[in-house]
Structure 1
Amino acid sequence: MIDDILNEMLKYLYQYDDYWIKNRVSNELRRIIEDLLNGRAEVIVRRTESSLIIAVRGSHVTLEIIRNRDVIVQILNDFPGTTMRIPDVFKEFVKNRNRYEELAKMLLAAKLGLANTDEGENKDKPRMRTTRLWQAVFWALLYPGDVYISIKSINVNVEDVTITWSFTANNHVSYKENALKIAKDLDEKTLLIFLLTSILGDGYANAYLRRSRLRARIEITVNAAS
């Protein structure tokens, strides 16, 4: 099942690469950088709370330079995404009805944790954008059915190059607005799963000694719907 998802992503990546080569995007990107350095480029500047973003738009690609993070983001303007069919692997493997009902509660808690942090929404549908391959696959398995995938950007800095994947679950409704409200009714076991996926999504956990006792510290960043 996981191999199927990875193969679909790889197939889409090859299509992305073909588009890049066929439309000579590298040459266009080189011209954009030269124009930017020589003051010939038409520049769009916007500010966020944490950084300044400079964007230059070409025919096939948009180049974004993010100040304070030393990141160049390359976005293909008109390259479409694709839809892949995600099987309900959990239902296929757990045949016993009572066990599946228990598992469904755990899966809901996992969804709520991600919805509470990293996850966004697209027309009330769950959407995940991530550079982490494990998170993309895990998230897709939580939302069986039609999942629309696309490459949001290619991110370049002095250390590495990453791909930002965007996944939208077309057959589901987002929990983004009500995740915390629903989480209040979780039992002890499912609450731990909620905390785990919240931490994995956009959180931090650490253990420290206080008065000779080991205590846990958990910090979670709750992102607004986007």
Structure 2
Amino acid sequence: MMCIAQNKHITTIEIENRVNVELIKKNKFCKGMKVGHHYRCINEIKNQKTINHAVDLLIEALNRITYWHIDTSEWLEKYRRELLEIRRNVKELSEKYDGTIYEFAKTINSLIKYVKKFEKKYVNISNEIRELISKIENGCIKIIVRESSNGTLYIVVKNKHITLKVSEPTSSKSKDITVVLYFEGFRGIKVMVPDVIGKILEQKDEKTKELLKEIIEGLKIGFASSDELMYKCHYAAMETAKIRQMILWLLLYPGKTYVHINGINVNKKSVAIRWFLVSSHNSLKNSIATLLNKAGINLAIPALYTAIVGDGNVDIKKLRIQLATKDISIWIPIIEKLGIRWRPSHGKITRISYYSSHAVELARLIVNTLQELHDLLNAVGEEKWVIINEIAKKELRRRGEAQVIVAGERFTVHTPNWRTVILMRRTKSSDMMNTITQKLKERYSNDALIYTHTYRDFIVIEIPIKTIINNNDGDVMIQIIKVLCKKIIKAKNEKIRKRLSKLLMKYINMFTEETVKEIRNSCQV
């Protein structure tokens, strides 16, 4: 791979050239067994195929560690900046929440100080990371390998206070390995989280209070179904590398909370601190199925949102909202209540996916349901919340909304560059194409302008608007006008609205003055 890291000192190809594969193979590879929180070497691995596989994974891990300069503390600066930004956003809400919000800003300040403390400690940690890398590269350390039934490997390498864990994905959909550096000897802290949401509740009437309580329980259930853990059998706990997700979780569990930086996620595209949190509240993890089964929409939507925060994916370009779950049965009651079309993808992990207009509909439902918490959620700026808000602002297109009927066949109204109108129909069948074009010729004439071309696997039939106008087809023109009206009303900005309005006015002249007036009123032009 010839890519060069921007603003880095070492290219990936230099790393690969530096590593001696044969030396790495001289490490002691053994099967491992978990004893408590640690792994113990049992039998030495003789299978060369397994060793080669493990070496490939280790080289990828070493590449990442070196690429991101994990052996220095320069990458930590962004965490202080991110926490400072959240603290600034939170302080801006002071007029609305009085002293409670300042108390929460103090909580964030404690986290900032803790990150600074970690940065000082990181001098020793980074020395051990360099030592660990050196031992792996020179073949003088034990490498514990655990193999699953489907052949995926889980590797553990320990050096003093540092443990490197490398694992392959269990899902066939993902190809990216997980690389985590855990360390011992850096203590956690206890922070006091003020009840900001409780303060919001105090300012509301009884009906809104009940609604908000339901929403808060839903947010907790969603986290419990995804990233949340149970500590000592009942405490709600969380391990995450997403700092804004951590802040949101803290808001849901006010009171004394234990916070501990216990490792580093070394991803392909980023590097992140791992946070381990333990609240003083009971976890809802054992009650998820029961609570979701009887949940109303005001509890279900917030639960779906935080489940997506933990185990989901949102993509503005693909216009997709996706939730990954090991147990789809707990979400079926929720999905049915929403009534929004979704697509499943099966495997060890089921992905519940909403695309296009269905994703827009779901995003709007989430944003509207969490209306009372908007300013707080915006201040935290959790990444998926930001993208869901962007998706919610997209134009909602329903199937058939931009279609007209010509000669008994459905055509979609397209407005290329908002300057003209073309009616389009796609089909994969040449027989269907011949049938449709024959119907159009019967309606108009054999000389009528009707175009066909191929696009990917489709045959596209196009009718330019001048064909409709030249044949005085008022019925189809009325349908086109109605579609243009909808497009004008739903236009994303004033520029598009003006262009579409100009296009509409170009075509309504063929109607009577009374009809023109009616069209202008209905289209708001």
CA contact (8 A) 1:61 1:77 kept: yes
Q: 1:64 aligns with which of 158, 165, 169?
A: 165
Shift of 1:102: 2.6
Shift of 1:157: 3.6
CA contact (8 A) 1:72 1:156 kept: yes
Provide the rounded CA distance (Å) in 2 between the counterparts of 1:189 and 1:13.
Answer: 37
Give the corresponding residue for 1:29: 129
Provide the rounded CA distance (Å) in 2 between the counterparts of 1:196 and 1:158.
Answer: 26
CA contact (8 A) 1:110 1:193 kept: yes
Question: CA, structure 1 residues 104+46, in 2 after alignment: closer, same or farther (shift >3 Å)?
Answer: same
CA contact (8 A) 1:5 1:137 kept: no
Letter aligned with residue 272 of structure 2: T
Letter aligned with residue 115 of structure 2: L
When structure 1 is superposed on structure 2, of 159-168 and 80-89 the one drifting more is 159-168
Shift of 1:122: 0.7
Provide the rounded CA distance (Å) in 2 between the counterparts of 1:116 and 1:219.
Answer: 18
Letter aligned with residue 125 of structure 2: V
When structure 1 is superposed on structure 2, of 56-65 and 43-52 the one drifting more is 43-52
Question: CA, structure 1 residues 4+80, in 2 after alignment: closer, same or farther (shift >3 Å)?
Answer: same
Higher helix share: 2
Letter aligned with residue 155 of structure 2: I
Give the corresponding residue for 1:90: 197
Matches within 5 A, 1:9-158: 9-21=111-123, 24-47=124-147, 51-67=152-168, 69-95=176-202, 96=204, 98=206, 99-123=208-232, 124-158=234-268
Shift of 1:108: 0.5
Provide the rounded CA distance (Å) in 2 between the counterparts of 1:50 and 1:179.
Answer: 32
Give the corresponding residue for 1:185: 294
Question: CA, structure 1 residues 204+57, in 2 after alignment: closer, same or farther (shift >3 Å)?
Answer: closer
Letter aligned with residue 166 of structure 2: I
Residue 114 of structure 2 aligns to a residue whose secondary structure is helix
How much is the aligned-residue C-alpha RMSD, in angstroms? Answer: 2.7
Shift of 1:32: 1.4
CA contact (8 A) 1:115 1:176 kept: yes
CA contact (8 A) 2:186 2:262 kept: no
CA contact (8 A) 2:211 2:298 kept: no
Letter aligned with residue 198 of structure 2: K
In structure 2, stretches of 5+ residues that fail to align are 1-100, 169-174, 315-319, 322-338, 351-525
CA contact (8 A) 1:204 1:218 kept: no
Letter aligned with residue 74 of structure 1: L
Provide the rounded CA distance (Å) in 1 between the counterparts of 2:139 and 2:227.
Answer: 37
Provide the rounded CA distance (Å) in 2 between the counterparts of 1:70 and 1:90.
Answer: 38
Residue 177 of structure 1 aligns to a residue whose secondary structure is helix
Letter aligned with residue 175 of structure 1: L
When structure 1 is superposed on structure 2, of 58-67 and 11-20 the one drifting more is 58-67
User: Which protein has greater RCO, CA pairs closer than 8 Å, 6+ apart?
Assistant: 1
Provide the rounded CA distance (Å) in 2 between the counterparts of 1:132 and 1:81.
Answer: 17
Tell me, yes or no, if structure 1 residue 161 matches structure 2 residue 271.
Answer: yes
Give the corresponding residue for 1:217: 342
Deviations 1:117-138 (A, max 9, x none): 2211111111111111221111
Give the corresponding residue for 1:210: none
Residue 227 of structure 2 aligns to a residue whose secondary structure is coil
The alignment-based identity, stated in percent, is 28
CA contact (8 A) 2:223 2:307 kept: yes
Deviations 1:69-113 (A, max 9, x none): 454422121212111111110111332461333311110011111
Shift of 1:195: 1.8
When structure 1 is superposed on structure 2, of 8-17 and 105-114 the one drifting more is 8-17
Shift of 1:215: 4.9
Larger-gyration structure (1/2)? 2
| Number of equivalent positions | 213
Shift of 1:218: 6.6
Residue 216 of structure 1 aligns to a residue whose secondary structure is coil
